[in-house]
Structure 1
Amino acid sequence: MTQHHLQGRTEKEILWFQRRGFLQAAAAWTAMGGFAAAHAQQRSNVVQMVGDVQVNGRRFSSQQTVQTGDDIQTGPGASLIFVIGNASFQVRQNSRLTVERGRSLTAVSLLRLVTGAVASVWGKGYDRSIVTPTLTAGIRGTGVYTEVFPEQNSRSYFCNCYGVVNMDAGGDAAVSRADYHQAFWGEVEPKNGRMLTPARAINHTDEELEFLAQLIDQRTAWQIAGRKGVKDGKGYMDEQPATPHPAVR
């Protein structure tokens, strides 16, 4: 189990990938052909659902399908894992988000997170975005973790777990190139004159990104490299890289 730090989350919540129910569901999802087969056979694209979930204001069941354009809300203790096209998502409890339609019915162009948290892996493709109350992340193929903290006036957290992401918060912009977890805060008020500031890696694990990648037949950057870096939020394999965190430039 990789090192991880918690802030307002519990071990049980972020270790969802260890549950027997999920492992069985993930194995069945892969064996049945993944999203392409589910879409062709008009089956649900939900890999696993736990607890109370509402979609577009109505109670949702695991036999239904999450579609682009849907508004998703999870209750206390709930979790929702689903796949749309070449992107996979794990929505934490007490979250609300919208997956907006892209170039087709099976492509997400924008994930708008209002509150709560979601881990996601995106296959390669055209530009897409994740938007929170205080930051915007432009992505292509990558794995990320995003969280909005309502108790901190919707201060937003974003970790580019691997890949290239264009970050923006209140006019502060940076290009994030990460091999291993490069993390940012989107501030509500300027901090040392900056709206985009460095963060450490919190509330997510390597293993959950690996499982989400597997659901769309992908591998994480550290799986491909065959090694892991130091999970300090700086985004590099080496502990003391020559390049500083992009939010402090």
Structure 2
Amino acid sequence: MTQHQLQGRNEQEILWFQRRSALKAAAAWVAMGGLPAAMAQQRSNIVELRGDALLNGSRLQTGQTILTGDQIQTGPGSNLMFVIGNSAFQVRENSLLKVERGSSINAVSLLRLLTGAVVSVWGKGNSRAIILPTLTAGIRGTGVYAEVFASQGNRSYFCNCYGTVDMESNGEKTVSQSSYHQAFWGEVEPKDGRRLTPANAINHSDEELEFLARLVNQQTAWEIAGRKGIKDGSGKISY
């Protein structure tokens, strides 16, 4: 188990992937053929639902299907894991997000996170983004962690765990290229003249990304490289 720093989150939220129910659900998802088989058999794309969640304002049931265009809200102590297209998502408790439609009903163009946090792995694709209150990230195929800190005026946190991401906050832009967790704050007010400031890698683990990547037949950058770096938010793999 890799080390992780917590800020305003509890250990159980980060260790969801160790639960027997999550392991069994993921194994069943992969064994049954993943999303293509679920679509062909008209099965749900929810891998696991633990606790209460709302789908477009109504209580979400495990047999339902989450579609692009849907709004999702999770309650206290809940955990939601689902797959759309070539992307996999794990939604933390007390989160509110909207999954907006891309070129088809099975393509996500935009994930709008209003409150809470989400871990996600995205396959290759164009014209996709994650929008937080003070930060926007254009993604091309990557694993990321995003969180809104309501107690800090909706200050937004984003970690490009691996891949290439186009970052923007109130007109300030940068390109993040990461092999191992490059993290940013989207500041509510400029800090030393900057809206995008460096951050540590907090509130998520390597194992979460690896778990989600397997659901969509992928590997993380560090799994492919066979080595990791120092989880300091710099984005670099050790050589």
Q: Normalising by structure 1, what TM-score?
A: 0.95
Q: Which residue in 2 is equivalent to 1:121?
A: 121
SS at match of 2:187: strand
Alignment of 1:7-18 (within 5 A): 7-18=7-18
Q: Which residue in 2 is equivalent to 1:23?
A: 23
Cα displacement string for residues 16-46 of structure 1 (whole angstroms, at most 9, x for unaligned residues): 0000000000000000000011011110000
Unaligned runs of 5+ in 2: none
Task: Give the Cα–Cα distance (whole angstroms) in 2 for the partners of residues 39 and 150 of structure 1.
Answer: 36
Task: Give the Cα–Cα distance (whole angstroms) in 2 for the partners of residues 39 and 135 of structure 1.
Answer: 33
Return the offset for 1:127. Answer: 2.5
Cα displacement string for residues 181-208 of structure 1 (whole angstroms, at most 9, x for unaligned residues): 0000000000000010000000000000
The aligned amino acid for 2:5 is: H
Task: Give the Cα–Cα distance (whole angstroms) in 1 for the partners of residues 206 and 193 of structure 2.
Answer: 32
Cα displacement string for residues 71-124 of structure 1 (whole angstroms, at most 9, x for unaligned residues): 000000011000000000000000000000000010000000000000000001
SS at match of 2:133: coil
Task: Give the Cα–Cα distance (whole angstroms) in 1 for the partners of residues 127 and 215 of structure 2.
Answer: 21
Q: Normalising by structure 2, what TM-score?
A: 0.99
Task: Give the Cα–Cα distance (whole angstroms) in 2 for the partners of residues 172 and 10 of structure 1.
Answer: 32
- The runs of at least 4 aligned residues of structure 1 exceeding 4 Å deviation read none
* 1:220 has 2:220 as partner: yes
Q: Which residue in 1 is equivalent to 2:153?
A: 153
Single out whichever of 26-35 and 119-128 deviates more from structure 2.
119-128
SS at match of 2:63: coil
Q: Which residue in 1 is equivalent to 2:165?
A: 165
Cα displacement string for residues 50-76 of structure 1 (whole angstroms, at most 9, x for unaligned residues): 111001000010110101000000000
Unaligned runs of 5+ in 1: 240-249
Return the offset for 1:238. Answer: 3.6
Alignment of 1:1-249 (within 5 A): 1-238=1-238
Q: Percent identity?
A: 69
8 Å contact 2:44–2:63 — kept in the other structure?
A: yes
The aligned amino acid for 1:216 is: V
Task: Give the Cα–Cα distance (whole angstroms) in 2 for the partners of residues 208 and 195 of structure 1.
Answer: 28
Task: Give the Cα–Cα distance (whole angstroms) in 2 for the partners of residues 105 and 140 of structure 1.
Answer: 19
Task: Give the Cα–Cα distance (whole angstroms) in 2 for the partners of residues 3 and 177 of structure 1.
Answer: 22
Cα displacement string for residues 111-148 of structure 1 (whole angstroms, at most 9, x for unaligned residues): 00000000000001122100000000000110000000
8 Å contact 2:227–2:238 — kept in the other structure?
A: no
Cα displacement string for residues 150-199 of structure 1 (whole angstroms, at most 9, x for unaligned residues): 11110000000000000001111100000000000000000000010000
Number of aligned positions between the proteins: 239
Task: Give the Cα–Cα distance (whole angstroms) in 1 for the partners of residues 193 and 137 of structure 2.
Answer: 20
SS at match of 1:8: coil
The aligned amino acid for 2:54 is: Q
SS at match of 1:229: coil
The aligned amino acid for 1:65 is: T
Task: Give the Cα–Cα distance (whole angstroms) in 2 for the partners of residues 203 and 133 of structure 1.
Answer: 18
